[in-house]
Structure 1
């Protein structure tokens, strides 16, 4: 199954400006709180958020980042994200579709939440390498994904996380710092060792 195209997300956002109820869902609120609690540093100098949507989690991240680049494959939710984050001059919001588009700069925090399973396995492997290459030594990579099967998606959340876990261990570039699982999502925090 190929990676989901940008048009898939455009169609979703044309049908509903907040299709996953990021602003109102108790599930999303609890997941965002767990995401922020999993970050061990009080402050990050340069963070990259992949899949920012309408910017609800981005606003939480912005309060702990010197710079934040928040991107989404679809331009449609970014108008709302830009309005929400207008008071945060350190935040840049851009339309970007990984792995074909990727920023050419290092980050000490990269967050990929609810995005990896939209990618075909080969594309996700390419993204994994890009994330490792752009993560500073001792930087952190946080993955958070829904785990139940969704027939539209090329991968499951567990498959995404297991692929990244393959890059941990002796002689590998990532260290597994934290793993959490609920009945609906899993969270894994990695550090870059070299």
Structure 2
């Protein structure tokens, strides 16, 4: 999602600080519980959460790590998440357009032990999704994990259906699927970097 494509999301956040009701909807609460249950480690050194939206999952992830980078390409989403996490010095919220602004390794930041794609990958086409999978694999520490969770039902602005986008991640040679949860609403997959 390139920053120039953010108009639709800017409009959504202009109308509501929580356009998808991530704090109160049962689907979102249940999704966060499933994600928490599937995380393979109780605590990670560093986590990357691109597409953080309004920051509800960010708050949950912050409890499980020593360093968290959350990003979104929508300026209002970044502001909302920064406000929610201002009291957490180990959480860094950035405005980034992916894939071109994927975070580069830094001396002051450990490799990510977990990268989490939550409700994000619908908005990428297949070549972008392949590139993002490669970037994620390259940013993970050895033995690190990538978790992707996405709603399965169709909606107007998605570029990829959930199963094909997860298959593109699954096709990456350095990512080995470790776990899967699926029901009529959601698909959650966990891969380990080999």
Shorter chain as normaliser: what TM range?
A: over 0.9
Q: Are 1:77 and 2:77 counterparts?
A: yes
Does the Cα contact within 8 Å between 2:82 and 2:93 map onto a contact in 1?
Answer: yes
TM-score, scaled relative to structure 1 = 0.92
Distance 1:144 1:103 in 2: 21
* RMSD across aligned positions (CA): 1.5
Quick check: 151-160 or 63-72, which moved more?
151-160
Q: In the alignment, what sits opposite 1:179?
A: 180
Secondary structure of 2:44's counterpart equals: coil
Q: Runs of 4 or more off by more than 2 Å in structure 1?
A: none
* Residue equivalent to 1:151: 156
Within 5 A, what are the aligned runs for 1:2-151? 5-105=5-105, 106-151=111-156
| Structure 2 CA distance for aligned equivalents of residues 100 and 14 of structure 1 | 25
| CA displacement, residues 23-46 of structure 1 (integer Å, 9 cap, x when unaligned) | 111110010011011001011001
Give 1:55 deviation, angstroms. Answer: 0.8
* Contiguous gaps of at least 5 residues in structure 1: none
Secondary structure of the structure 1 residue equivalent to 2:75: coil
Paired with 1:151 and 1:75, the residues of 2 have a C-alpha distance of 22
* In 2: Cα distance, 1:97 partner to 1:185 partner: 25
Query: C-alpha distance in 1, partners of 2:80/2:16?
Result: 12
Aligned to 2:128, what secondary structure does the other structure show? helix
Separation of aligned partners in 2, 1:107 and 1:66: 11
Q: Is 2:71–2:94's contact at 8 Å kept on the other side of the alignment? A: yes
**Which 5+ residue runs of structure 2 have no aligned equivalent?**
106-110
**Contact map agreement 1:150 1:156 (CA 8 A) in 2:** no
Paired residues in the alignment total 188
Whole-Å separation in 2 of the counterparts to 1:77 and 1:104: 22
TM-score scaled by length of structure 2:
0.92
